[in-house]
Amino acid sequence: MEVDKGVYQSRTAAEQTSLGDILQRYAEEVTPSKKGAKEETIRLAALRKMRIGKFALANLTPAVVASFRDERLKAVSAGTVIRDLAVLSSILNHARREWGFPVANVVESIRKPRQPQGRERLLSDEEERALLDAVAPIGRRSPWVQPIIVFALETAMRRGELLALRWEHVNLDKRTALLPDTKNGSRRVVPLSSRAVDTLRGMPRSIDGRVFPISAPALHLRFKLACKRAGITGLHFHDLRHTATTRLADKLTNLAELSAVTGHKSLQMLKRYYHPSAEALAAKLG
């Protein structure tokens, strides 16, 4: 009957193809064109090595995926498991729609871990002074760490955006910095405060054209050491974006203007980064 209707699909391919095979094909054919290709390639390689990667597509049931979820939760955070499941869901949909595999998206049938609450760690004024002192460019300290921290606090730019920023995209007279390719896939022009401009004017310039010629691992290590010297605990570099967004919200009360600066595409995402204190809100109430 299915053959007569033209909808019959042989299960042979789904029985002879493992999830690991599909992950490999996806990594080779689809992932390279994505913005986060490097990170996704690493994630797919890790998933291929896990037990779930050995299952044939035909044997991939909700119970199998649920077991994978529960085992992963013992080793990694709920956020990581949520991202793993999202990747698997996307790949199964792609395998069905683009490659013709008669496979259901069993990921959609299982319960997802609860979304972890967003971080609310902000840098206080006192901590900021201690942190900047700890990265003052003296002796053998890097001349780039203090400026990038100040610039992050003034612009709310992401770490990747900061490290990719080039002098050719900075206009000190107009007080703007162009980000031609952001995480959201769109260009953004970031307005610069007087402090941000002064920071740029006082910096040495690298011959490679980057404003902050430092690698992500080196920045991570130096920031961690600086926090230790300053006696600051529980602070991540990304928390500077939370801090900057909260501070900018005091100056830019229009949410459209605020999101134009920070690059958030939705109010929901913006709310994850804006953490006003109850005391600050009470002061605004009068």
DSSP secondary structure string, 195-246? HHHHHHHTS---TTSBSS---HHHHHHHHHHHHHHHT--S--TTHHHHHHHH
Token readout for 279 is 């005391």
112 catalytically annotated = no
User: Rounded to whole angstroms, how far apart are CA atoms 149 and 132?
Assistant: 8
273 catalytic, yes or no?
A: yes
Given the residues 175, 183, 272, 275, the one annotated as active site: 183
Residue pair 193/154 in contact by the 8 Å Cβ criterion: yes
Catalytic, 242? Answer no
- Residue 226 near residue 131, CB atoms below 8 Å: yes
Q: Which one of the listed residues 238, 247, 272, 275 is annotated catalytic?
A: 238
β-bridge pairing 170-171 and 188-191: unpaired
Residue with tokens 């691992």: 217
158 flagged as catalytic: yes
Which of 222, 241, 242, 274 is an active site residue?
A: 241
Q: Is 183 a catalytic residue?
A: yes
Query: Has 121 been annotated as catalytic?
Result: no
Which amino acid, 83? R
DSSP H helical segments within the chain, as ranges?
2-5, 12-16, 19-29, 37-49, 62-73, 78-97, 125-134, 145-155, 159-164, 194-201, 216-230, 239-251, 255-262, 267-273, 278-285
Nearest to 118 by CA among 271, 223, 240: 271
Which is the catalytic residue, given 43, 188, 273, 274?
Answer: 273
The rounded radius of gyration (Å) of the Cα atoms in the chain is 24
List 43, 48, 69, 158, catalytic entry? 158
What are the residue numbers of the active site? 158, 183, 238, 241, 264, 273
